[in-house]
Amino acid sequence: GAVVSQHPSWVICKSGTSVKIECRSLDFQATTMFWYRQFPKQSLMLMATSNEGSKATYEQGVEKDKFLINHASLTLSTLTVTSAHPEDSSFYICSALGDGRLTYNEQFFGPGTRLTVL
Amino acid sequence: TQLLEQSPQFLSIQEGENLTVYCNSSSVFSSLQWYRQEPGEGPVLLVTVVTGGEVKKLKRLTFQFGDARKDSSLHITAAQPGDTGLYLCAGARGGSQGNLIFGKGTKLSVKP
């Protein structure tokens, strides 16, 4: 149980285009999902907290107009990188907060999406 | 600001050796989680510790939560090449949001 999927697993796009990444909780409902960014050989950096049915909460320094988050259902959150530039190239990982079967705010992570902007 | 300092940052050992990874903070966490991540994949939850002084074992891995819930350690006995990966500790802030504060990670390489 507690499986989270991400799609696509990797994407290459041209500078100036927009890219949408999907995060799905497959066997549980997740009212809260998180989006992280990870640079090579570094830890995870929280970008935003996504709550179903409400606006996402962005961490300081993360542009909400650049990284659009939509959490339209209890099993799906999307991250859209708008007008992507080479510096947006990174490994993006989502996670979903356990649905109450778990007690300790454990997060279950997706496999990540490798974004390369040319 | 709550910070979680993880050490060592890099660790390269021979198969069969033991090792310990540390996570330290000046802040108290409601729980602390350990994850293992392989290149190109998302982190996988290994264990959650909640109670001060708690010790949990997962085969050759032993996790301990400090009495004051400010620090934790991961000890691996007789490391194997399959243990190679990035180990991350993450402390849970209080409240219902479930936000985690991640350490910078320990890159472990176990050579045969």
The 3-state secondary structure of chain A reads CCCEEEECCEEEECCCCCEEEEEEECCCCCCEEEEEEECCCCCEEEEEEEECCCCCEECCCCCCCCEEEEEEECCEEEEEECCCCHHHCEEEEEEEECCCCCCCCCEEECCCEEEEEC
**What's the mean pLDDT when you consider all of chain B?**
91
Strand segments (E) across B1-112: 5-7, 10-14, 19-24, 31-37, 44-49, 55-58, 61-65, 71-76, 85-92, 100-102, 106-111
> Is the per-residue pLDDT at B9 higher than 90?
yes
* B33 — pLDDT class (breaks 50, 70, 90): very high
Inter-chain touch A6–B42, beta carbons under 8 Å: yes
- Taking only the tens place, the pLDDT of each residue in A46-104 is 999 998 888 899 999 999 999 999 998 889 999 999 999 999 999 999 999 876 655 56
Inter-chain touch A49–B97, beta carbons under 8 Å: yes
Find the range with the poorest average confidence among A17-31, A61-75, A100-114, B12-26.
Answer: A100-114
How many angstroms separate the CA atoms of B4 and B1, rounded? 10
A6 at B interface, C-beta within 8 A: yes
Inter-chain touch B100–A105, beta carbons under 8 Å: yes
Distance from CA of B96 to the nearest CA of A (A): 8
Q: So what's the pLDDT on residue A102? A: 56
**Torsion sign (Cα): A60, A65, A67, A70:** positive
* Residues in chain B closer than 8 A to A106 (CB atoms): 33, 45, 48
Are the C-beta atoms of A62 and A1 separated by less than 8 Å? no
Distances (CA, A) of A64 to B3, B15, B34: 24, 46, 29
* Residues in chain A closer than 8 A to B88 (CB atoms): 43-44
Are the C-beta atoms of B11 and B108 separated by less than 8 Å? yes
Angle of CA points B80, A45, A50, to nearest 5° = 115
> Is the per-residue pLDDT at B96 higher than 80?
no
Are the C-beta atoms of A26 and A3 separated by less than 8 Å? yes
Q: Return the number of other C-beta atoms located less than 10 Å from residue B56's C-beta.
A: 15
Give the mean pLDDT of B65-71: 95
* Residues in chain B closer than 8 A to A24 (CB atoms): none
Q: So what's the pLDDT on residue A1? A: 64
> Is the per-residue pLDDT at B93 higher than 80?
no
